[in-house]
Structure 1
C-alpha cells in the first residue's frame, strides 16, 4: 500500500467519525466516553456484554408488532416510510406512536449534511415547532410525555443479522456483529447522544449507504417511495404532516 492510498484510507475513516458525531442528538447532560482519542480507544477496547433482555422500564412503552406505513409530507410532497416492528418493536413503536399523536407535525429538519458526501437529513425535535427557539438550540429536545411531564427515551435496540431477539442498551459493532436492519440509502433511524439509551423523538434519513453506522444506531424502517423528495429537503424545511396510513392496529400502548 503506498502513502497516498494510506492517507486516503485514513482520511475516509476520519470523515466517517466526523459525520457520525453529527448524528448525535445534542444533550445538556455530560456523556461518556468522550469523543477524544482516549475515549475512542476505550470504546474500541471494550467488548460490550450484549443483553437480549428487554429493559423493565420499557414495559409500558408503545411497541409495534409487525409493519406499519407512515406518510410524511414535506413541501407538499409525500414520503412513504415502511416501519419494521418485527426487528425493532420498541423503536418502531415509539416512532409510530409519536406520529399518531401528531408530535412531528410542524417540526423542522434542523440538520442536513450533504457535503463532502451525502450523509443524513435529521429532524424530529419538538422544540422546532416554535419559531422563537434559537436555531443553535435545535437538536437538544425530545418528546415530553404529557402523562409524566418527563422526556420519554427508549433503549438502543438492534437485532443482529441471523438472530431473532434484539440486543438492548449496547452497540453490537464491538462484538463483531452486524445488524439485520442496515444503514443503506433511505434508511430511517433514531438519533441519540453518546448514551445508548437516550433516543427520544429525533430521527434521520440516510442519503447514501452508511455502513460505518451499522451496529451503533438503531434503524427501524426504510423510505419506500419519495426518496427524491428526501434528497431535496433543506435545513429549516418542515414536516407539514406525518400520518400512519397502514398498520396502526399493530401498535400496542
Structure 2
C-alpha cells in the first residue's frame, strides 16, 4: 500500500489514472510534482506526444513539448528502477539536469531508458485508460489531464 500523501490521481479525458509516487527513488522529483499539483499546474494539460508501443508524454504548459513550470529545472535522480509498463519517468532535454514538469508513462518495456531518466512512480490502476490516449507527435485533438490530485 502506498505511503499516505504519495498517491497521484490524474483524472483524464479517458478516465482516472492512479500513480504511486516513489520518494524513496526520487525525493526531489516527487516533491516538485506535489508542489505543481497543489498549484493546479497539471489541470488542463494535454498529452502532447504519444508514441504507440512506447509512451504517453504530458506536462508541457504550451502543449508542444517546449515548456515547463516557472521553477528551476531539477537535478537528475537516476535510479535502478526499470522502465517497464506503467512506470512514470521525467522527460528531459539532452542535459541530464533539464527535467522540469514534463513526464511520461511507458506503455511497454523501455529498458534502454534505464538510469538515463528519473523514474518517480508507477501506475497502480487505470493503465487501461493510459492505453486509450490518442497517439501522435503532435497529437491531433489530444487527450488531457482534467485534474490532478495527491492523497
TM-score (ref. length: structure 2): 0.90
1:154 aligned partner: 74
Q: Residue 5 of structure 2 contacts residue 150 of structure 2 at CA under 8 Å; is this kept in 1?
A: no
Higher-Rg structure is 1
Report whether the alignment pairs 1:119 with 2:54: yes
TM-score (ref. length: structure 1): 0.54
Of the structure 1 ranges 200-209 and 88-97, higher mean CA displacement relative to structure 2 is found in 88-97
Report whether the alignment pairs 1:237 with 2:137: no
Q: 1:214 aligns with which of 109, 114, 122?
A: 114
The structure richer in strand per residue is 2
Secondary structure of residue in 1 paired with 2:30? helix
Backbone CA RMSD of aligned residues = 1.5
The structure richer in helix per residue is 1
1:143 aligned partner: 69
Unaligned runs of 5+ in 2: none
Unaligned runs of 5+ in 1: 1-64, 129-137, 146-151, 160-178, 246-253
1:132 aligned partner: none
Matches within 5 A, 1:94-113: 94-113=32-51
Q: How many residues align?
A: 143
How far apart, in 2, do the equivalents of 1:120 and 1:67 lie?
26
- Structure 1 segments of 4+ aligned residues over 2 angstroms from their partners: none
How far apart are residue 101 of structure 1 and its match?
A: 1.2
How far apart, in 2, do the equivalents of 1:189 and 1:66 lie?
21
Structure of greater relative contact order (alpha carbons < 8 Å, 6+ residues apart): 2
* CA offsets 1:107-150 (integer angstroms, 9 cap, x no match): 10110100xxx00000100123xxxxxxxxx11101014xxxxx
